[in-house]
Amino acid sequence: MKIVMLGAPGAGKGTMASRLSAHYNIPHISTGDIFRENIKNQTELGKKAKAFMDEGALVPDELTCDLVADRIRKADCKEGFILDGFPRTIPQAEALTKELSKTDEKVDHVINLEISDEDIVERMSGRRSCPKCKRIYHTVTPSLKPKTDGICDDDGETLVQREDDKPEVVLKRLSVYHEQTEPLVDYYRNLGVLDSVSGKNAIDEEFDLITKILDK
């Protein structure tokens, strides 16, 4: 089962993709994680990606398509995969369609998480993470607040806000999303594989709705 997660930055694609990955035992492939790993290791790709990500812009197609094509051909993707953060543009989607068609395959399901820009800004600007263990917290959401403000529950590290979670960058990211990524909704609707689900549902409710769609 080959799944693509769609939705604005902060809609919850990564959280849901991780749960679906565990449920269906297929890999969760996040281009964001790949880029961040390259940034951490200060590779040439990482340096280029960081410049775009810090501005809230999309990493250009040519830096991503070959990487993703190589990843989905690895052995652990034999039974399927969940793409989170790719494709982000029509050319990327066309490249994915072309790559899969080489072996008479296609994307089976596209799950679009719908949520308003206002809710996205509140959700993302309140997000904090531990620089050591990477655990995610939130300044507003009760279930995600740390026991001590600004401190990781697990290792006592001071929590940080990612550059691309700051309100001004979030608004820029949303503008880019509406212009370049949102057209994928119609692209995949025309292919007959799109289902939309509210991104404001409780996580368990959202998970149940999506698995019912995927298990049809």
Catalytic positions, written as ranges: 13, 88, 127, 162, 173
Say whether 31 sits in a helix, a strand or coil: helix
* 25, 79 Cβ separation under 8 angstroms: yes
109, 26 Cβ separation under 8 angstroms: no
Please check whether residue 66 is in contact with residue 99, taking contact to mean a CB–CB distance below 8 angstroms. Answer: no
Q: Which residues pair with 148 in a beta bridge?
A: 151
- Find all residues with CB under 8 Å of 27, minimum gap 6, and list them: 21, 76, 77, 81, 82
Starting at the earlier edge strand, list the strands of the sheet with 2-7: 28-30, 81-84, 2-7, 109-114, 194-198
Query: Can the peptide bond before residue 87 be classed as cis, meaning omega within 30 degrees of 0?
Result: yes
E strand residue ranges, the chain: 2-7, 28-30, 81-84, 109-114, 127-129, 136-138, 194-198
